[in-house]
Amino acid sequence: MAISELDLPTGVVAHSLADPESQARVLAEHVAKALDFAVQTYGQANLVVSGGRSPTGFFEVLSGQALDWSRVQVCLADERWVAPESPQSNEGLVRRHLLRNAAAQARLIGLYHPAATLEQAASQASQALSVLEQGIDVLVLGMGDDGHVASLFADSPLLEQALSEDCQEYCLPMLAPQEPYQRISMTYPLLASARLQCLAIQGQAKLETLRQALLADALRMPVRAFMHAPLEIYWCP
């Protein structure tokens, strides 16, 4: 299957790239241009990225893009509730693969807080995100094989609240079906307020997940909630 065969909603743009290297380069150049525009226009840029396993190549190419990184704030769309030193930490991934080269100058706003409970940690993460006062300039989402984005998982107790357009919280505690179970996720209204919204996915299996999500309810496959303009999908086999 090719991404052009999917019946995407009007306004959703699909980019089909030849391989992971091309995907990383094209996405990194597009993101860097948008960050540079925000720096020139507002004096600062806010970038929200995802974790997991797939963004490392993109992070490494982005880290070498020429722009005034000292004016860029990097935040995470979601975090596993583990210390940044853990190999499962999304913050750790960003520190190792993105905050290097030119991008070492950027400021990272992590979602991890060592609170007594996951609920308290999520509340502290929400408060820390008040630094996003000019809004999110660029959002880069990934997608799990089950159709989750950020840490918005089907069957997580607070999913309906997190996907509600009226949700006032920047972050909510979420539960994943696999380890690490305890997660903190940015909620739908904050994520969907980003000026540039990108979804980066690789492989046939994820294309099939996306095809199923287009026919599903967002409560079963949360990626469905983001299938509207101005989403840009970057896919490669």
Ligand X SMILES: O=C1O[C@H](COP(=O)(O)O)[C@@H](O)[C@H](O)[C@H]1O
Q: Which residues bind ligand X (CB under 6 A)?
A: 50-54, 77-78, 90, 142-144, 150-151
Min separation Cβ 140 and ligand X, Å? 9
Q: Is the peptide bond before 230 cis (omega within 30 degrees of 0)?
A: yes
Min separation Cβ 199 and ligand X, Å? 9
Q: Nearer Cβ to ligand X, position 51 or 57?
A: 51
Min separation Cβ 10 and ligand X, Å? 25
Q: Nearer Cβ to ligand X, position 35 or 49?
A: 49
Fill in the amino acid letter for 47. L
Min separation Cβ 229 and ligand X, Å? 21
Min separation Cβ 49 and ligand X, Å? 8
Q: Nearer Cβ to ligand X, position 50 or 187?
A: 50
Q: Nearer Cβ to ligand X, position 67 or 94?
A: 94
Q: Nearer Cβ to ligand X, position 103 or 140?
A: 140
Q: Nearer Cβ to ligand X, position 72 or 150?
A: 150
Closest CA to 170 of 136, 123, 134, 138: 123
Min separation Cβ 76 and ligand X, Å? 7
For the chain, report the end-to-end CA distance as a whole number of angstroms. 9
- State the SS3 of 35-100: HHHHHHHHCCEEEEECCCCCCHHHHHHHCCCCCCHHHEEEEECEEECCCCCCCCCHHHHHHHHCCC
Which residue number places its CB atom closest to ligand X? 52
Chain position carrying tokens 């909630």: 225
Backbone phi, then psi, for 190, in 5-degree steps? -70, -50
Q: Classify residue 4 as exposed, middle or buried by CB count within 10 Å of its CB (0-12, 13-18, 19+).
A: exposed
Q: Nearer Cβ to ligand X, position 39 or 159?
A: 159
CA distances from 212 to 51, 104, 191 (A): 23, 39, 22
Closest CA to 52 of 190, 159, 206: 206
Min separation Cβ 70 and ligand X, Å? 25
Structure tokens at 189: 């209204």
